[in-house]
């Protein structure tokens, strides 16, 4: 099992440290939304990676790649999740590809 704290962006770690009440409220909402999803956890995590790539939020990619891998996602599934947004978002999603591959291979 990986130390996920090391995979979190500096900004998110600072948010958690400096605003613990807001961070706790945020995480409670994230958990509740996950619980409400009809998707299995692995599929939901892969879909989340696609959203991160489309929105160019690379800071969250290593954490969520590690989570996807823990849930049994293959390297190819992670790559496909990053690239699934190509038709809608364009090649901006490829910017997350090196980060995702590096995160997968390092864990």
CATH number at residue 84: 1.20.1290.10
Tens of pLDDT, residue by residue over 8-35, are 888 999 999 999 999 999 999 999 999 9
Tens of pLDDT, residue by residue over 70-102, are 999 999 999 999 999 999 999 999 999 999 999
Q: How many helices (H) and strands (E) does the chain have?
A: 7, 0
Q: Total structural domains in the chain?
A: 1
Question: By residue range, what is the domain housing residue 83?
Answer: 4-106
- What gap in Å lies between CA 57 and CA 22, rounded to an integer? 20
């Amino acid at each position: 099992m990986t130390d996920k704290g090391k995979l979190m962006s500096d900004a998110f770690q600072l948010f958690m440290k400096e605003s613990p009440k807001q961070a706790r409220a945020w995480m409670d909402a994230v958990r509740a939304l996950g619980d409400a999803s009809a998707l299995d956890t692995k599929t939901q995590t892969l879909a989340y990676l696609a959203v991160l790539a489309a929105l160019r939020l690379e800071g969250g990619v290593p954490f969520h790649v590690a989570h996807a891998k823990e849930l049994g996602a293959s390297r190819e599934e992670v790559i496909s999740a990053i690239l699934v947004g190509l038709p809608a978002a364009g090649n901006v999603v490829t910017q997350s590809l090196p980060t995702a591959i590096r995160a997968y291979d390092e864990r």
